[in-house]
Structure 1
Amino acid sequence: MSMINEKDFKELANYKNEICVSIFIPTQRAGKEVLEGKNKKHLHSKWVQIRKELKEQNVQENVINNIAKPIENLLENRDFWRHQSDGLAIFASEDYFQNYTLPVNFDDYHYISEEFYVKPLVHAMTGDGKFNILAIQLEDVKLFEASKYSIAPVEIEDLTPSRLEERVGFDYKEKALQFRTQGEGGEKTQFHGHGGSERDEKTEIKQFFRAVDQGLKEYLNREKLPLVVYCQDYMFPIYKDANTYNHLVDAVIPGNPNDSDLMGIHQKAIEVMEPFLNDTRDEKIEKYKELSSTENTTSAISDIIAAVHQGKVDTLFIENRAEVWGDYNEENMKVEFAENNENGSTSLLNLAAKKTIEMGGKVYLVEHEFMPQKKSKMNALLRF
């Protein structure tokens, strides 16, 4: 299972070859469709269609076979199809292959050109809405950096104790701690030690959590991202009491983190974090509207493409599921539009998206009804 990061995105954005194939298909995580192999069948039918198009474009058979080999290997990989998310992205050329399983609801789409089509991936590259997930148990501690469309583990082995016994200085046995829930609603938990132990287990857990909190303090304060904790319900009040980080989310992801794989952890985290994830995008849209009568905004695609290449775009809004074809001459900063992608035309929206990210700007894929200026498929908020 592969999630995309900024390095991967830039590698894809900069890759060039005579034949580059980009494939996007929606996938199902579980259920009847997975058992019946719907995801695999979808990719198979998509590849049959693409192979036919490549032949119609007079691409040499050996080139097609070289592109096909890793895709066909993927089709035969049973384990791969057991671990899917909401979307699958594949990028294949004669000497390059990469696939990404992502929590993004891709439209069924493919693109054949001299470059890869990365526009659908910008959801995962938008830095706004990032947060950290602390998955913590008495026997395990893990940290993740995530956004609405991505998740990646953070190496913290040298920063925190990995289990309670490392911190409290004795051989911790899980059986030494019992929890009894009072009442049917499970509202109150009591702690009981075995064998007449005088240890205050709650204090020991707090001591462990305080060590984790202090170990992560410097790392977390670099970006000051929201921190959401994934742990069993009874632990969260103790962690809150031990916590000194100012950006702890006052809501827990309940349960045992070890019961979820990476995609499951991400899905549960999004359910908690959803209300907070679009704040910055919405602020940028409102700013565009406020400045719409000034020179700090533009919806003219020709002007936007030139501004992107000059590093003038702060925020780019692209209409989701839209497309604009043409060519851009960087020497004279001129755009020529085309009706479709035939005769060597390229996706101007794809070009603008990858160049904006390369130049340090933000890109948002926005549904038509939420575009600041709906008459254009691209709007740009320029740097002051």
Structure 2
Amino acid sequence: MSMINDQDFKELSDYNNETCVSIFIPTQRGGKEVLEEKNKKHLHSEWTQVKKKLKEKNVAEGNIEKIGKPIQELLDNRDFWRHQSDGLAIFSSSDFFKSFTIPVNFEAYHYISKEFYVKPLVPAMTGDGKFNILAIQLEDVNFYEASKYSIMPVEIDDLTPSRLEERVGFDYKEKALQFRTQGEGGEKTQFHGHGGSERDEKTEIKQFFRAVDQGLKDHLTKEKLPLVVICQDYLFPIYKDANTYNHLIDKVVPGNPNDTDMLGIHQKALEIAEPYLNENRDEKIEKYRELSKTENTTSAVTDIIPAVYQGKVDTLFIENRAEIWGEYNEDNMEVKLADNHENGNISLLNLAAKKTVEMGGKVYLVEHEFMPQKKSKMNALLRF
């Protein structure tokens, strides 16, 4: 499972070659579509279109073969197609290849230029949209760092007890503790055991959860990201009672974490976390609107790109599924707009997005109706 990270993104952003191919396709995690190899067929269709365009651009047959060889290897790898998420991103040139399985449902798209098309990946690199996931059971504890695009396990064995017995003693199992919930959604929980009262058993679980909470405390407070918990729903009220972290989301992903894989955990956790992930974006949009009549904002592409290169852009808003073609001369800071992708023109939105990330700014892909200034496909909130 290949997820995008900061190092990967920088490598893609910095890479240049005479011919770079970027392909994005939506994929399915399972079901009938996977059995019918719909994902594989989708990639085959995109690659067929790309090959045709490469030939029309008079790209040497040898180069086309080098670009296409790792793509064909993916198409022939049956195991690869059994482990997909919501989207697949592929970046290939004659001497470079990377593919990323990403929990984002891309629209099918391909881009041929001298650089890779990283705009769809940019929001995952700006710091917003990140959250943590705690998958906890009495016999197992796992922790993940996640974003809309990715989920990565974090080793916490040195920070927390990995199971309840490590915290309260190995005689715990001898109590033959059983849990039974009454009422839909686990509204009331009864604890039954031999050798211990209900109160003692609940106290022991809370003691275990408090140890997990305290073990994660320093790690969590570094970034203060939203925390989503996945556990059996009768355990969540006890965890909330033990919790001291201020950014715990007050809604659980119910169920046994072992009943799904890491991508399934991500999908369920994202459904709960997503409303909290746009708060910073919405604050920046509101700030843009407040300052829209000052020199601290601009919606002119010819002004924005030079400002990006000068490090003046605090936040860049790009209309999702939009495009602006042209070229930029860094020496004289001149932007030339064009009607299409022909004659060496590039995506100016892709250029501005990856350069903003490089210069430490934020980038948001925004639907048209939420753009601060809807008359332009790119808006910038300036630092000074």
Check the 8 A contact 2:185/2:233 in 1, yes or no.
Answer: no
Length-normalised TM-score, structure 1:
0.95
Change (3 A) 1:141 1:60: same
CA distance in structure 1 between the aligned counterparts of 2:343 and 2:326, rounded to whole angstroms? 10
1:30 and 2:30 correspond: yes
CA distance in structure 1 between the aligned counterparts of 2:206 and 2:14, rounded to whole angstroms? 49
Partner amino acid, structure 1, of 2:5? N
Q: CA deviation at 1:181?
A: 2.9
CA distance in structure 2 between the aligned counterparts of 1:250 and 1:49, rounded to whole angstroms? 47
Match of 2:69 in 1: 69
Q: CA deviation at 1:345?
A: 1.3
Partner amino acid, structure 1, of 2:74? L
Match of 2:60 in 1: 60
Match of 2:362 in 1: 362
Show structure 1 runs of 5+ residues with no match. none
Match of 2:222 in 1: 222
CA distance in structure 2 between the aligned counterparts of 1:248 and 1:183, rounded to whole angstroms? 25
What's the secondary structure of 2:246's corresponding residue? coil
1:88 and 2:88 correspond: yes
Q: CA deviation at 1:172?
A: 4.8
Change (3 A) 1:168 1:350: same
What's the secondary structure of 1:59's corresponding residue? coil
1:269-298 residue CA offsets vs partner (Å, 9 max, x unmatched): 122123222111111111111111100000
CA distance in structure 2 between the aligned counterparts of 1:175 and 1:120, rounded to whole angstroms? 53
CA distance in structure 2 between the aligned counterparts of 1:292 and 1:174, rounded to whole angstroms? 67
Match of 1:276 in 2: 276
The Cα RMSD (Å) is: 1.8
1:210 and 2:210 correspond: yes
What's the secondary structure of 2:376's corresponding residue? coil
Change (3 A) 1:249 1:183: closer
Match of 1:39 in 2: 39
Structure 1 stretches of 4+ with a deviation exceeding 4 A read 183-186
Match of 2:301 in 1: 301
Match of 2:232 in 1: 232
Q: Which 10-residue stretch deviates more, 354-363 or 116-125? A: 116-125
Match of 1:350 in 2: 350
Match of 1:328 in 2: 328
Change (3 A) 1:262 1:67: same
Partner amino acid, structure 1, of 2:340? N
Change (3 A) 1:329 1:165: same
Match of 1:150 in 2: 150
Match of 1:78 in 2: 78
Q: Which 10-residue stretch deviates more, 358-367 or 144-153? A: 144-153
Check the 8 A contact 2:135/2:257 in 1, yes or no.
Answer: yes
Length-normalised TM-score, structure 2:
0.95
CA distance in structure 2 between the aligned counterparts of 1:50 and 1:370, rounded to whole angstroms? 33
Match of 1:119 in 2: 119
CA distance in structure 1 between the aligned counterparts of 2:70 and 2:174, rounded to whole angstroms? 46
Match of 1:134 in 2: 134
Match of 1:259 in 2: 259
Q: CA deviation at 1:171?
A: 5.4
CA distance in structure 2 between the aligned counterparts of 1:319 and 1:210, rounded to whole angstroms? 44
1:2-49 residue CA offsets vs partner (Å, 9 max, x unmatched): 221222111111111111110011122233222211111010111111
Change (3 A) 1:173 1:68: farther
User: How many residues get paired?
Assistant: 383
What's the secondary structure of 2:211's corresponding residue? helix
1:148-188 residue CA offsets vs partner (Å, 9 max, x unmatched): 33322222121111111222231553982211233577532
CA distance in structure 1 between the aligned counterparts of 2:206 and 2:374, rounded to whole angstroms? 53
Show structure 2 runs of 5+ residues with no match. none
Match of 1:166 in 2: 166
Give aligned-pair identity as a percent.
80
Q: Which 10-residue stretch deviates more, 293-302 or 22-31? A: 22-31
CA distance in structure 1 between the aligned counterparts of 2:69 and 2:76, rounded to whole angstroms? 11
Match of 1:190 in 2: 190
Check the 8 A contact 2:323/2:349 in 1, yes or no.
Answer: yes
Change (3 A) 1:291 1:48: same
